[in-house]
Amino acid sequence: MKSCTLPAVRVEPELRAELEAVLGEEETISTFVADAVRRAVDFRRVQTDFHARGEAAWQDYLRTGVSHPVDEVFDRVQTRIDARRRELQGPGT
């Protein structure tokens, strides 16, 4: 796939100086900006999915009237977190 160019962004000289001061040894402003845009797009996608799931859950509640106590939900989430933690730690740790 052929690459394309993002529009130029005007910033204050102070911000550019701060950016240059935090760049890695082999990092360029272009790679920094491309990475920042990638992360922002990923964040927006996750945020949009989160809102869609919340809206679907709300509509489901309005349709059915069925809800779950917060303690039950927290317990289920904690159980999943604990199981994943054990899975990541592996045997013998």
Q: What is the pLDDT of residues 52-88, one digit of tens each?
A: 999 999 999 999 999 999 999 999 999 999 999 999 9
Count Cβ atoms below 10 Å from residue 41 Cβ, excluding itself.
10
pTM: 0.69
Could you give the CA distance from residue 55 to residue 62 in angstroms, rounded to a whole number?
10
Statement: residue 93 has pLDDT above 70: no
HSE at residue 48, side-chain half, CA atoms within 13 A, is 6
Residues ≥6 apart with Cβ < 8 Å to 29: 16, 19, 20, 23
Residue 8: DSSP 8-state = P
**In the predicted model, what is the mean pLDDT of the chain?**
95
H/E stretch holding 75 reads helix 70-89
